[in-house]
Structure 1
Amino acid sequence: MGAYLSAFRQTFPGKPKFDIDRDVPDLSGKVMIVTGATTGIGKEIAKGLLRRNAKVYITAKSHGKAEGAIADLEKASGKKPEYLILDLADLNSVKVAAEDFLSKETQIHVLFKNAGVQDAPIDWLTAQGYDLHIGTNVLGHFYFTHLLLPTLLSTAKSLPEGKTRVINTSSSTHLQGGLDYTTFRDGKERRKLSSRKLYGQSKFGTLVFGKELARRYGDQGIVSVAVNPGSIQSDIRRYTPRLQRWINQFSLHPTPYGAVTQLWAGTTLEGLDMNGKYGVPWAREGPPRKDAEDPEVGRKFWEWMDDQVKEFEVA
């Protein structure tokens, strides 16, 4: 009951006290990646980083989407981001995007894992046949993080604070989660679940992954934080049924608010102490569902994801 009361408070947290332009520190010399930054929350994160002088790579599924977002961000911030072509629903694309980044940069200070899909049609699967929600929101990001991890670790060693960060985008819908491995690929068990339940499972998985990353690499300089960005006006809801969208509109906050907790966790001194914790609206720590913190749940899920990407390591 306490977790659901917390979720209600996260949905209606009032107005942010954390101001992006005022409270995000100068980021000159820092290299950041924001996945899914052509629209919505990701675009707001990228804008906030650029305004504070970071070198920002945004990801997009196509050159056209990237170029449109770059023009908008340059106009809004006065700075021009770089971009990577990345489709998280295709592990081959994930590998190419990571290789592209690593051919250009030797450091990465923060990885904002923002891209995602919500309430997608049940027939939609990833290129490798996974449920689109778990495949995009979790497995694709796991592989991307895996490929960038050596650079995150080496960057941490070069910094006075000895830390780099991975910001994992979860949601209060992780409360609907748990991990049913029989639903990760298509089949009768998956077809019994609604798209909303599959989305909630992926956000639970994101939280589990974020905490397991913290356990495995926190002592080597990785600060892994899972965050709930809040109930935000965003086109991620484009697949949500019309009635549900109508109901949701009464609890939605302006799009820029969605960047607040992410940027707080990803750029501030306070955020450096958030390894393995859960950030909630706006810019504060909150309680996750208890079983998401179970080390055995984290170990099993990590090992499953690791097994799924092994064949791409030798390809």
Structure 2
Amino acid sequence: MGALLSTLDEAFPPKPQFSVDDIPDLSGKVVIVTGANTGIGKETAKALLAHNAKVYIAARNKEKAKRAIAELKKETGNAQAHFLKLDLSDLSSVKRAAEEFLSKEKELHILFNNAGVMVPPVEKLTTQGYDLQFGTNVLGHFYFTKLLLPSLLAGAKSSSDGKARVVNTSSSASNMVSGLDFNTFKDSPARKKKLAWILYGQSKLGNVVFARELARRYGDQGIVSTSLNPGNLKSDLQRHLSWIETFFTQLVLYPTPYGALTQLYAGTSREGADLNGEYLIPWARIGHANPAAEDRKLGEELWKWMEEQVAHV
């Protein structure tokens, strides 16, 4: 009964108490938002630019990103975002993107691991042969974060509160699974037997487990790592859904700008500096993550596995 009430609370949240108007001045802050050419990533970038942050839009499609940057410039009164080419489904691209950023910036103050793919055809894989959802949503973001840690640690040292923040966008779907099946992370008979929705839920739980482990490993060095459910939102994340899935999900979806609120709260608010390891729910509230995310051994095992995957990229 408690789990049901928690799910309903996330699906039908009360009126938000935090708004983009509550974001402090971000002058001097360097921020990366993955997947910021569309959806809640774009709304997040818009709010950051409006509050004077230097924003990098990390996306794989240069044309779409440039179009988004032009739109954001118009919407924010001439604020200019910067494009960073990043394909999270290709670890080599992740490495190049991090190297490009580090060649331009010494400090990174906020990293929004926002991009994601939802329920594509099960046969789709990443460039290196991982399940597309886990490889993109979890492994790609892990590697990107790992490579950017020197700039995040430098950003923490230069910040007035001694903090840099990593905000990981998960989903209520993280509650659809009871754990992580390592046998399905790469292409395998076990993976092919899984429904796309289950693989999606597993990747979103992976986001939470990674965020918790990052919090444990680097919290004492000024890294504030959070994960969150942004809410059920209207965005192109649903592009792979069938018409019947689209019909029913549209009944419980909120406007896209609402989705940016929780991650903006985690990434920019004064209160967000004290949220290391927390899981947030709509809109800008502390919630309860899947109990599997509390398993320290699982966090250690996932971290070790991911380290092994990127060791020779």
Matched residues in 2 for 1:4 and 1:93: separation?
40
CA offset digits 1:89-110 (Å, max 9, x no partner): 0000000000110111111100
Deviations 1:72-105 (A, max 9, x none): 1111112010010000000000000001101111
Q: Distance in 2 between matches of 1:55 and 1:3?
A: 40
Q: What are the within-5 Å matches in structure 2 for residues 265-284 of structure 1?
A: 265-284=266-285
Whether the aligned pair in 2 keeps the contact of 1:225 and 1:278 (CA below 8 Å) is yes
Name the CA distance, whole Å, in 1 between partners of 2:4 and 2:192: 27
Residue 129 (structure 2) pairs with residue 129 (structure 1): yes
Structure 1: which amino acid aligns with 2:209? V
Aligned length: 311
Q: Is the 1:3–1:288 Cα contact (8 Å) retained in structure 2?
A: no
Structure-1 residue corresponding to 2:70: 71
2:216 partner letter:
R
* RMSD across aligned positions (CA): 0.9
Q: What residue in structure 1 maps to residue 245 of structure 2?
A: 244
Aligned pairs for 1:1-315 within 5 A? 1-20=1-20, 22-78=21-77, 79-177=79-177, 178-312=179-313
In structure 2, what is the Cα distance between the partners aligned to 1:308 and 1:29? 35
- CA, structure 1 residues 304+4, in 2 after alignment: closer, same or farther (shift >3 Å)? farther
Identical counterparts, % of pairs: 58
Aligned AA for 1:161?
D
Whole-angstrom distance in 2 between the partners of 1:242 and 1:196: 15
Task: Give the distance between the partners of 2:304 and 2:102, measured in 1 at CA.
Answer: 25
C-alpha deviation, 1:293, in angstroms = 1.3
| Distance in 2 (alpha carbons) for counterparts of 1:164 and 1:4 | 34
TM value normalised by structure 2: 0.98
Q: Can you list the C-alpha shifts for 1:109-160, whole angstroms capped at 9, x where unaligned?
A: 0000000000111111000000000000000000000000011112212222
In the alignment, the residues of structure 2 paired with residue 256 and residue 159 of structure 1 have an alpha-carbon distance, to the nearest angstrom, of 28
- Counterpart Cα distance in 2 of 1:17 and 1:166: 22
How much has 1:186 moved relative to structure 2? 1.1
- TM-score when normalising by structure 1: 0.97
Deviation, structure 1 residue 242? 1.4
User: 2:251, 2:65 → 1: CA distance?
Assistant: 31
The alpha carbon displacement at 1:188 in A equals: 1.1
Contact 1:209–1:301, Cα closer than 8 Å, also in 2: yes
What secondary structure, in the 3-state scheme, does the structure 1 residue paired with 2:312 have? helix
1:245 deviates by 1.1
